[in-house]
Chain A
Amino acid sequence: MLLIRHSCRANSAVRTTSVAGELFVASVVICMILASFGDAVDPALLSEVGLEFAIFDFGGELSVLAMRHWHLLQLLLAGAAGAFGIFVLRVFAAGLLRILRPAGRRAIDKVPISL
Chain B
Amino acid sequence: MESEFLSAGFLSALFAIVLIDLVLAGDNALIIGLVARNLPKNIQNKVIFWGTFGAIAVRAVMAILVVYILDLPGFMLAGGLALVWIARKLLTPEEQGSENHLVKGPATSFAGAIRTIVIADAVMGVDNVLAIGGAATGSVLLIVLGLAISVPIIVWGSQLVIRLVDRFPSIVLLGGAVLAWTGYSMVVREPLLASWFAGHPATKLVAVILIFSISLAPWYSARMSDQMKPLVVILPGVLVWMLCFEIAASVWQLQVDYLLATQTGEYILEAVRWLGWLPLVAAYLWVRERLELRRRRAVRG
Give the B-binding residues of A (Cβ under 8 A).
Answer: 1-18, 21-22, 24-25, 28-29, 32-33, 36-37, 39-42, 59, 71-74, 76
Q: Chain B contact residues: over half helix, strand or loop, or mixed? A: helix
- Which residues from A are CB-within-8-Å of B208? 32-33, 36-37
Binds A, one of B45-53, B60-68, B177-185: B177-185
- Which residues from A are CB-within-8-Å of B202? 40
Q: Are B204 and A40 in contact (CB under 8 A)?
A: yes
Q: Are B13 and A72 in contact (CB under 8 A)?
A: yes
Q: Are A3 and B158 in contact (CB under 8 A)?
A: yes
| Interface residue? B201 (CB, 8 A) | yes
| Interface residue? B228 (CB, 8 A) | no
Q: Chain A contact residues: over half helix, strand or loop, or mixed? A: helix
- Which residues from B are CB-within-8-Å of A8? 96, 166
- Which residues from B are CB-within-8-Å of A2? 23-27, 90, 124
- What's the Cα separation between A72 and B137 when bound, in Å? 13
Q: Number of B interface residues, CB 8 Å?
A: 52
Q: Are A1 and B100 in contact (CB under 8 A)?
A: yes
Binds A, one of B167-175, B234-242, B276-284, B289-297: B167-175
Give the A-binding residues of B (Cβ under 8 A).
Answer: 8-9, 11-13, 15-16, 23-27, 30, 90-91, 93-94, 96, 98, 100, 102, 124, 153, 158, 161-162, 165-166, 168-174, 177-178, 181, 184, 188, 201-205, 208-209, 212, 216, 218-219, 222
* Chain A residue at minimal CB-CB distance from B157: A3
Q: Are A10 and B166 in contact (CB under 8 A)?
A: yes
B5 to chain A, nearest CB (A): 14
- What's the Cα separation between A32 and B188 when bound, in Å? 14
Q: Are B181 and A32 in contact (CB under 8 A)?
A: yes
Top-8 shortest CB links A-B:
A21-B170, A71-B12, A72-B12, A13-B172, A10-B165, A13-B169, A40-B204, A7-B166
Q: Are B12 and A5 in contact (CB under 8 A)?
A: no
**Residue of B96, B168, B172 with most chain A CB atoms under a 10 A cut-off:** B172
Q: Are A3 and B96 in contact (CB under 8 A)?
A: no
B91 to chain A, nearest CB (A): 6
A39 partner, pick from B158, B165, B204, beta carbons under 8 A = B204
Q: Are A33 and B177 in contact (CB under 8 A)?
A: no
Known: A3-B25, A13-B171, A33-B209. 12 other contacts (CB 8 A): A1-B98, A2-B25, A3-B153, A4-B23, A4-B90, A4-B162, A7-B169, A10-B162, A12-B169, A29-B212, A71-B8, A71-B13
- What's the Cα separation between A41 and B146 when bound, in Å? 33
